Amino acid sequence: MSIEMEDGNLRIQQILADANREIKSTQVNKDIPLDLDCGNLVASDINYMDESDIRNAKRRGEILSQIARDSTQVLINQLYQLERTTVDNLCYIVLPAPEIVLPREKPVPKPKPTTKWEQYCKDKGIVKKKKERKIWSDVAQDFLPRYGKLRVQVEKDKNWVIEVPRQADPYEDMFAKAAHAKKERIAKNEYQRLRNIARANKTGTPGVGVTTTDTRNVMELKKAMHFSRSSTASLGKHQPMLQGEKPITGFSRHARKDVDKPFLGGVRAEKNKSLAIIDKINKPTVNTDSNIIKQVEKNMRMEEDTDRRAIRKTGRRSKLGGRRSAKSGQALASLTDGQMGDKKSRKLHAAAKAATDKANGAKGGKPKKKSSFGGIGPPKKAMVNKNGKIKRVVKKRTR
């Protein structure tokens, strides 16, 4: 029995020794005292650290944890030496003013600019009084919110009948007039809100429709006429044009378009118009032929400019043999088979083509058109009398 008791005492002593080793002391001894900032709860340890221990991956975590634990312990020891206060049976530590000035992430917010009404109240000394949320309603005999759906229903029950003033139109709808006045008040408040935002941002308020001016402006009157014309149900599409009225520059909504015009013509004209629309639809967005011609013409112009600059440097044009033909005109005439280009280039292209055809065995010159009477020459119109018969023409012999 005595042996077992001795073994038990040894085990208890060993457990207590292990526990004492795990529970570390609150006293921390450092070669250099830590720099503490209790206001920001910051502790800075500037003691020497062995670089080999930090580079060792196995011991690095243990060493850093030990340093963090010691620094936190020193900071807590310093906090317990500060002044304390009790609030609601809870103990609090009064922190001193921070010593380290921490930089802000964002700049200090600027004071919000005052509105026109706030500036007026400040100048006149008007103090804003907070209104009560609920007020007494004689209709419902209860306290109801100042705004909201309950208040709207009470107002409808209260204003179930509206008295028509003596000077007002007896056939005018007073309920619609009151609703319109309410919409106007809401729009006015919204406009004032946007104006305050524009004043704060130092920008102008955007104009809507026709703006008022001190002097009469013809363009403003035209704009007003345009807006009034397009205010119909059809947006001015079926609004007739006045006699002598001209379309306003920049406002072509009321002007007649080709689509709105009535179709006049026969079956052939309608067919040609439809085919033109189909060709326009099937036509590619980019015309490669015209683009090639434009690019060639541009290159030729650049070459001409280079030649002109060279001529200006060398001497006068009169000494160089007169005016030269443009290369761009010749290239354009050759690309379009004599359809485009200046007159001289087209003539040169026609002459070169005629010479080529003659060398190949074709007859030169322009082909003569046959007349309607079988002869050679331009076609002549037949002379017709009133009955529709062709007159007999006798050509007199000239001596």
12, pLDDT greater than 80: no
Residue 42 phi, psi (nearest 5): -125, 135
Whether the pLDDT of residue 216 is over 70: the answer is no
Domain chopping of the chain, boundaries: 2-93, 144-207, 288-315+325-356
Residue 190 pLDDT class (50, 70, 90 cuts):
very high
pLDDT digit string (tens) for 325-380? Answer: 555 667 677 777 777 777 778 888 888 888 888 777 655 455 555 444 444 454 55
The pLDDT assigned to 372 comes to 46
Tell me the pLDDT band of 15, cut-offs 50, 70 and 90.
confident
Per-range mean pLDDT, top range of 79-83, 240-244, 255-259: 79-83
Does 383 score more than 50 pLDDT? yes
Tens-digit pLDDT profile for residues 111-164: 888 888 889 999 999 988 888 888 887 777 788 888 777 777 777 777 778 888
- Average pLDDT (188-211) is 73
In the prediction, which pLDDT does 255 show? Answer: 45
Write a three-state SS string for the chain.
CHHHHHHHHHHHHHHHHHHHHHCCCCCCCCCCCCEEECCCCEEECCCCCCHHHHHCHHHHHHHHHHHHHHHHHHHHHHHCCCCEEEECCEEEECCCCCCCCCCCCCCCCCCCCCCHHHHHHHHHCCCCCCCCCEEEECCCCEEEECCCHHHHHHHHHHCCCCCCCCCCCCCCCHHHHHHHHHHHHHHHHHHHHHHHHHHHHCCCCCCCCCCCCCCCCHHHHHHHHHHHHCCCCCCCCCCCCCCCCCCECCECCCCCCCCCCCCCCCHHHHHHHHHHHHHHHHCCCCCHHHHHHHHHHHHHHHHHHHHHHHHHHHCCCHHHCCCCCCHHHHHHHHHCCCCCCCHHHHHHHHHHHHHHHHHCCCCCCCCCCECCCCCECCCCCCCECCCCCECCCCCCCCC
Q: Is the model's pLDDT at 201 over the cut of 90?
A: no
* Lowest-confidence pick of 34-48, 85-99, 220-234, 341-355: 220-234
Burial 265-304 (b: 16+ CB within 10 A, else e): eeeeeeeeeeeeeeeeeeeeeeeeeeeebeeebeebeeee
The predicted pLDDT at position 186 comes to 92
pTM of the model: 0.27
Mean pLDDT of the chain: 75
What's the pLDDT score for residue 187? Answer: 92
The pLDDT score that the predictor gives to residue 53 is: 81
Q: What is the pLDDT of residue 371?
A: 46
Quick check: 56 pLDDT over 70? yes
State the average pLDDT over residues 47-68. 86
Q: Between 193 and 341, where is the model more confident? A: 193
The percent of residues in the chain predicted with pLDDT above 90, rounded, is: 5
Q: What is the pLDDT of residues 298-334, one digit of tens each?
A: 888 888 888 777 776 665 555 545 555 555 667 677 7
